[in-house]
Every structure is written in C-alpha cells, then in structure tokens.
Structure 1
Amino acid sequence: MTLRKSKGKEAKRRMFDVLRGLISKVSADYVDIRYEKMSETKIVLNNREIFQLGTNTGDGFVVRILKNGGFSSVAFTRIEDAEKALKICLENAELISKNSKKKVRLAEVEVVKDTFIPNLKEDPRAVSIDEKLELLMHYNEIPLKFENITTNMQYTEVVREKYFVSSEGTEIREDLITTGIRGMLISRDGSLVQNVRVGIGGSDGFYRLRNREEEFEKKTKIVLDLLKAEPVIGGVYNVILNPDMTGVFTHEAFGHFSEADLIEDNPSMRERMKIGAKLGNDILTIIDDPTIPNQLGFYKYDDEGVRARRTYLLKDGVLVGRLHSRRTAAEFGEPVTGHCVAEDYRYPPIVRMGNIFIEPKDKSFEELLELLGDGLYILDAKGGQTSGENFTFGAQYAFEVKNGKIGKLLRDINISGNLYKTLMDIVAIGKDFELSEVGGCGKGQLNIRSCHGGPHILVKNVVIGGVK
C-alpha cells in the first residue's frame, strides 16, 4: 500500500467517525449528514482576452433531521458550528411538526456502505492550469481566424468529494469529477448577427477534451454560413429534430413534469401525470438513467444515499414511472429512484434528472428523411422556456428538406407547441443515439451535471416562428 493510499483511507475513516459522532448526538426519527469538499476551476476568454482564470475551493456540511413528521435541513461550513446547527435543525423539525398537518415520511431504502472513486482515463487534477489554458486558447483560435467572428469561451472543471452518513447505517464516499469546454461563436455582417454554441465534456476525464478541433471547425463554418442563410418562413411543418433538440424537448417539456416534487401539490397535474395515463405515441419510450458511465449526468448514489437506477418514465406511450426522493416516493406510494441531488454543500438535495433521453428505435436517418418528404431538419438547441404544458425553444439552425433531400440552410428558428400533443405527434424514431456533452438545469439550484439526448425523431405539425 502506498503512503498516499494509506493517508486517504485514514482521512476517510476519520471523516466517517466525525459524521457518525454528530448524528449520535441527535434524538430523532431520522438524521443524515453530508460533508462535501468542492473545487471549481474556471478559465473564461472573451475573444483573445483572459476574463477569468482561477480555482475556488470550499467545503461544508448539510444536516437533515426528521422528527415526528417534521423535516428540516441546515447547512454550515465550520465543524465548530456543528452542534449549534444540529440544535437549530432539530428545533426547526419540531416546529414544522407542530404546525403542519401533512407529516413527512421517508420511503424505506437499502443500507449501503460503499466507496466510489471514478477511474478516470486522465485526471484533470494532474493537468496543469497552463495546459488547460493552452487547450482552450487553441480551440478559441479556430473561429477567431475569421475577422467577423467574436467568441466567449470557457473551461470548467468541478471536483466534488462527498461523504454521506445516515442514522440508518448508510455510509458512502463518492467523488464526482466534471470537465468541459463550452462557448458561443458570434458572427456579424452589418446589422445581421448570428450565433451558435459549441460544447464538449463529460465525467470521465480530461482526455475527452483533447483532439476535438472538428467540433469547433464545424460550428465555425455554420456560424459563417448563417450570415448567408435565409430566415425560416413561419408556419406549421413536419420536422426532424437532431439528438440535441430531442434531448432539450425531453428534458424541458416532459422531464420536469416527471420530477415528483414539482407536481405533488398540483392536483390537476397529478391527475394528468397519473401512472398508466396514455400520453404519447405507441413508439415512444422515455428513460432517465444516471448510471450510464462517463456521461455528464452520471453518479452512483444520490445525495440521500440511494443507489441510482435506470427509471422508465414513459413506455410505449404510457406513463410508467417518475423521479423521486425518499420523501416523494413515500408521498406517492411509488418506488425510490435515486434522483435526489444537491448542487453542492450549500444545499439540501431536491429531485433532479440525471441522463434523460428518448429510447432509440429502428429508423435510419435516411429513412426518416424519406418519411419526412417535405419539411425541416432542425438542429441544436438555443435556449427556451416552458409555461405549464406549453413550450417554446430556439434552435441554432435548420435545413429545408424537399422530397427527402436536405437543401438550403435556414436561420432564426423557434419552435413552439403543447407537450401532450407533441408526444402524440412523434411519428418515427431513429436508431442512432447521442447524449449531450454539456448540459445543466436551473431548477432551484444550478446543476451542471444534468444531461439529455436521444436519437433523431420525426414530429408532425410543429409550429415554427419566423417571417411571414
């Protein structure tokens, strides 16, 4: 055994001893405590200027206490404040219990003792900040060779070392390590301005960021070509969505309604999203799976110490599951799924998506084009919003399709629709599959690890905003 491994094991043992000791001081129905040490490295370039370069570190604790149906959490950063935090958390739980008719219950889960340290192909912590900057500047220079392009590019690296202990006996140490490069390319021709986004990354090491010039060259060509492209003519179209657009629709329009905490206090939504409800076309299956290795949304255990698992949400068009915390699983009387996640040590966990996607089927891309005939091929998301069951998303670009052949490039693409109608209007699904390398979700807490994707899909009767 190396000295480093020996020290690592000793540090882990000491931390578990500390957390167990804190829990033992609380008389309650349930207690858990999470300690986390986080490091975030960020490099930001505005064109060729370094706007930001540095590493921030921090650590802290979150304790949760359940007492007589009252559930409370408190975050703190100094071990010296632990007893005070525990006292406040317990008092808050008791206060909630006395003043709330709805008592919290937690679904039963297996007791786990485990350590998971990812086996990275290239640990970003072993790569110098100089080399990270050099790689970012190298990719940034690809679009900046053109005078009418400006850029905003950033490298982000997040390392989270987590410890979790519960009064039920669960003890987990897990590390989450994410690296990525993302940016925006902006082209100008007089008053016409166009932009596209580019992003690479994942949770399996720095190697994923190397030798990716092709991604930046592709997006550079597109943002230049968009200056010569025609704006799309508004109307109702049959369309093919590429995997990124498929994923954004799945995440934003459907995925959030699958998060149990978002619908539990909304009677109409609970009725609409009732298990067994027919929501989509027979060919449509939607899954969330945080256990897919190397992906942005990968983790082994959530922040309640529950093992992550592949969860079918929609199967053959029928709602068969939803994403849960222990609390919501008990509330709905449904299985836990391991989807209760916190952004970092400052927050208690909430229900979040991991890797959400539409399951691929049997159509080749050429077959989808043939089935489409005339319509649009829409690529790469560009922001959007939802309002209840209605959505509006932007796309970075599209191509006109005539007689099953891809034609001219189009710009200024916005799609809108109703979730439930669109789920029924997905009429063909590709056999390809791709998950996004960059992602994120702003529900409650910013979460950079949320991931989406899927195959190409053919959707009929999509409303496209544009010129008349």
Structure 2
Amino acid sequence: MPTVLFDTKNLLTDLIARYRSRVDYLAIRLEESEGSSIILRGDKIETLSEGLSIGGQVRACYKGGWGFASFNQLSTLSDRIEEAVTAARIVGDEETVLAPIPIIQDVRQLPLLGIDPRQISLTDKKALCDRYNQILKGYDPCITTTSVRYGDSTQRVIIATSEGTLIEQSWVDMEMRFSATARNGDLVQTGRETTGSRKAYDDLKNLDEQVCSAAQRAVNALSLPPVKGGTYTVVIDPILTGLFVHEAFGHLSEADMTYENPDLLEVMSMGRQFGSEELQIFDGAAPEGHRGSYFYDDEGTPATTTQLIKDGVLVGRLHSRETAGKLGETATGNARCLNYHYPPIVRMTNTWIEPGKTPVADLLGGIKEGVYARNWLGGMTNGEMFTFSAGEAWMIRDGNIAEPVRDVTLSGNVFKTLGDIEAIGNDFYWDESGGCGKAGQSGLPVGCGGPSLRINNVV
C-alpha cells in the first residue's frame, strides 16, 4: 500500500495554520484506496479490474457557508484550499454553528480476523466468482440469467482540522452479490443473495448454500400462486426487520433530513410515542465487527451508539457536527462520505431493533389468515412511505405456516407500522449485506439487525 499521503502530516499542519484565520473551520481529508471489482453476467465478464486511488478533499466554513474542493494530485492541495476558502467566504452570511467534539490525535486500524483480500490474486478472486456462477447456472434448466458481483476496498484516511484534530484510520471492506433469474413462458422470477464483511476474505469463500438458495427461490417461485392482495397480519424475519429499520425509519432519523424540513421535524419531535414500550431502536458505529463500524467519522467525531427509540418513544437522531449544532444536540459521529469526491453527510452506520421476549414460534399464534415473509428482493422508500418485496413468503392459516406464495410486496406508513408492531421476537440476526445510497453516494457499507416481528394491518 502506498504511503505517500502518510508522510504529509506536517504539510497539512502547515497549510491549515496558514489558512485558518480566513475561515471559521477548515478540514482536510486525504485518502488512499485500493480494491478489486469483478462482475460476471451469464457467460460474460463485464468487469475485471484492480485499482488504486489517491486523493483528498478540503472543506471550509465561514459564517455558515461551506466551500468544498476535491483533488487527486497532492501538489494542488494549496490551490484547492484556496478554492474552498474563497467559496465559503462568498456564500457565508449567517453564523457557523458546529457542535463541539474532542480534539484528538490518533492512529487506528480496524483489525482483520483472517485473510486480507490484498493477499489474494485477481485470478483467484475470479475463480471464486466462476465457481459461484457455475452453481447458479447449473442449478436448473429454467434459470436463464445469472449475475455474480465481487468487490473489495482498502481505505486509509487522514483527517486534519483547524481545531487541532489529526486522525489516521484504515479498514478493509468486502462484498459479494448473487442473483438468478428463472423463466417459464412469460413468468419471470428472481432470487438474490448478498453478503459482506470487514473481518476476512474467508467470509466469502464458503457461500455455496447462499448461492443455491438464490437459485432455488427463483425456480420455486415459478410454480407458486401469487399472494391475494389485501391487508394482513404479517410476521417478518430478522433480515426483513433489518431492511425495514434501515430504509423506513433510519433515513428519517438522519438529522439533515429533518432540520431542512420543518414538517418532518415536527413529526420527528423528541418525546413522541411511535410504538410499544418493548420497542428499542439503535444506530451506532461503536459496536465492533460490523460493516458500518469505525473509530471516527469523516469529521473526526468518535464513533458512538445512539438510541433512537426508547420504550417506543423517540429519544435521539443521527447527526453531523452542523446538524447537531443547529438543533442544539450532540454530535453522534454519523458524518460519512463514500470517498474523497464527496463531502461528508449524515449517514447511518449499523442500525438495529433490540430483541423482544416473544418466542419466534409464538409470533404465529392466533393469526387466522396472514403472511410470513422472509429475506428481501428489493424495496424503496419515499419519505415516511415504504414498499418492500420479500424474497420468499408463505400464508399463515390458523396459527401455522401454510402454502408458499410469490409476489409478496409489503407497503405502508412507517410511523403507523411502528405502532402496529404487536410482538417482538426473542431472536436476532445481523445482516452485513447493506450498501446504502443517499445524495449520489451509493454503496456505503452499513449493517442492519433485528428480531422477527409480528405486525398488524400490513398492506
């Protein structure tokens, strides 16, 4: 891994000292990144590459106005600082309000627990993808299209600010995605699986069962009846719970969504009751070993764990320093950027619902006619409204799992749905497959978790 950026700390300190008097706040983020990308679609190789990226960004704030510049030549850094400072001074006309954080000098590395993907050749990574692709293609003659995606990225970052923070941190992230599409006449069904890790390349080496599961769901769905549309009591598994808490509730907890929207800020007012006393929701990068975990965010704020809902009541939200300052709250360490091309914005890290007390088998009890949904196929949110497609589903009849069905799409209003959670299972699962998108920054690693849930009145 190159070290050119990591011999520049004195340069950063000197440049910040030169320009700090012209602005209220100045931050420089330098980044070295290397990684591999492989995409196989059927018999074709769409992507097979290794890359190295070196660059950085400058953020300046003056009277509440921000200037931003990115670069990939260190020799242009002083010019980029000048650009960011000038832009901030042009647009600034209010007051710079940034929540205070500790001034830290530190060097940290997220530890790998097994093989580093940089020790594996691109040829061997391609061979792994080929093996999984052959499993998909050979599963059943009905399968017409397959896709295997592999990606790994190693990032090393320096953050230096005019307040005196100087942080160096690094991590490795890996992800694989599989999909199989099966066809019978005009009927087309797709099965998907995704997994990720910040622990070891080993976590991607023995996924045959998951790969087969994607193919099996696609083939099985061809012979299943579609679910009859209606409003049901639904039981969802932990993977769908994780997707729900991230997409439907987590984004609404990002404070830049609220402080710019007075109507949403009123809806998301502290102390409002959204669910039963059993409902506890958290987000945080402090829990170790997950894809959304780190030591410091991209503003140098230490990672935390933030409780968003306590006993069914809204008690917290996710912040950058600016959103926390403007709302008079505490910075939570949720300012993140995908890479040096983008400024940090408020993003989730690992988001989860705490397990409850109900045994999973008891979640079905008393349901005359309902739906049991597992895994995810896709989904979208629009403000407080959500729509998710389940990877597989069964009808519930008289408290028992009955016939499987296809084309199960769940939709509703997140606030009403939180209130309609009737029981929370005592199980729990972390889903490390997340790649979150927001404001053009797609694929940011996150973790999601939760227990099985029983929810009433789901469309």
Could you say which TM-score interval applies, normalised by the shorter chain?
over 0.9
Give secondary structure in 1 for the equivalent of 2:444: coil
2:395 match: 400
2:450 to 454, 460, 467: 454
- The Cα shift of 1:103 comes to 2.4
Give the 3 Å change call, closer, same or farther, for CA 278–341 of structure 1 in structure 2. same
Give runs of aligned pairs for residues 308-457 of structure 1, distance below 5 A: 308-444=303-439, 445-457=441-453
2:221 match: 226
1:110 to 89, 102, 105: 102
Cα deviation 1:380-425 (Å, max 9, x = unaligned): 2222222222222222221111222212211111111111110100
Give secondary structure in 2 for the equivalent of 1:431: coil
- The Cα shift of 1:309 comes to 0.6
2:171 match: 176
Give secondary structure in 2 for the equivalent of 1:44: strand
Does residue 18 in structure 1 map to residue 11 in structure 2?
A: yes
Give the 3 Å change call, closer, same or farther, for CA 142–203 of structure 1 in structure 2. same
Determine the C-alpha separation between the residues in 1 that align with 2:410 and 2:187.
Answer: 21
Determine the C-alpha separation between the residues in 2 that align with 1:48 and 1:432.
Answer: 40
Cα deviation 1:274-319 (Å, max 9, x = unaligned): 1111122222111002122221211111000011111000111100
Normalised TM-score (structure 1): 0.93
- The Cα shift of 1:371 comes to 4.9
Determine the C-alpha separation between the residues in 2 that align with 1:224 and 1:211.
Answer: 22
Determine the C-alpha separation between the residues in 1 that align with 2:226 and 2:355.
Answer: 31
Determine the C-alpha separation between the residues in 1 that align with 2:443 and 2:343.
Answer: 13
2:294 to 291, 299, 314: 299
Give secondary structure in 2 for the equivalent of 1:440: strand
Give secondary structure in 1 for the equivalent of 2:98: coil
- The Cα shift of 1:108 comes to 0.6
Q: Is the 8 A contact 1:398 1:411 kept in 2?
A: yes
Give secondary structure in 2 for the equivalent of 1:353: coil
Q: Is the 8 A contact 1:48 1:137 kept in 2?
A: no
Determine the C-alpha separation between the residues in 2 that align with 1:425 and 1:13.
Answer: 52
Give the 3 Å change call, closer, same or farther, for CA 373–172 of structure 1 in structure 2. farther
Determine the C-alpha separation between the residues in 1 that align with 2:458 and 2:170.
Answer: 42
Normalised TM-score (structure 2): 0.95
Q: Is the 8 A contact 2:178 2:214 kept in 1?
A: no
2:118 match: 125
Does residue 30 in structure 1 map to residue 49 in structure 2?
A: no
Give secondary structure in 1 for the equivalent of 2:15: helix
Does residue 197 in structure 1 map to residue 192 in structure 2?
A: yes
Does residue 64 in structure 1 map to residue 64 in structure 2?
A: no
Give secondary structure in 1 for the equivalent of 2:437: coil
Give secondary structure in 2 for the equivalent of 1:186: strand
Q: Is the 8 A contact 2:27 2:60 kept in 1?
A: yes
Determine the C-alpha separation between the residues in 1 that align with 2:63 and 2:265.
Answer: 26
1:193 maps to amino acid:
V
- The Cα shift of 1:349 comes to 0.2
Cα deviation 1:181-231 (Å, max 9, x = unaligned): 102111111111100111122111201112221111222222211111110
Query: Percent identity between the aligned chains?
Result: 37
2:141 match: 147
Q: Is the 8 A contact 1:240 1:372 kept in 2?
A: no
Cα deviation 1:59-92 (Å, max 9, x = unaligned): 2111111223333221122122212111111111
Determine the C-alpha separation between the residues in 1 that align with 2:304 and 2:238.
Answer: 23
2:132 maps to amino acid:
Y
1:265 match: 260
Q: Is the 8 A contact 1:372 1:458 kept in 2?
A: no
Give secondary structure in 2 for the equivalent of 1:439: strand
Unpaired runs of at least 5, structure 2: none
1:451 maps to amino acid:
G
Higher alpha-carbon deviation: 20-29 or 225-234: 20-29
Q: Is the 8 A contact 1:111 1:169 kept in 2?
A: yes
1:215 match: 210
Number of corresponding residues: 453
Give secondary structure in 1 for the equivalent of 2:210: helix
Cα deviation 1:152-179 (Å, max 9, x = unaligned): 1111111111111112111111112111
- The Cα shift of 1:131 comes to 1.4
Cα deviation 1:87-132 (Å, max 9, x = unaligned): 11111111112xx3x4231111011111111221111101111111
List 4+ stretches of structure 1 deviating above 3 A.
371-374
Q: Is the 8 A contact 1:290 1:299 kept in 2?
A: yes
Give the 3 Å change call, closer, same or farther, for CA 230–13 of structure 1 in structure 2. closer
1:241 to 236, 246, 251: 236
- The Cα shift of 1:341 comes to 0.1
2:318 maps to amino acid:
L
Q: Is the 8 A contact 1:154 1:181 kept in 2?
A: yes
1:311 maps to amino acid:
T
Higher alpha-carbon deviation: 380-389 or 449-458: 380-389
Give secondary structure in 2 for the equivalent of 1:57: strand
1:466 match: none
Give secondary structure in 2 for the equivalent of 1:224: helix
Root-mean-square deviation (CA, aligned residues, Å) is: 1.7
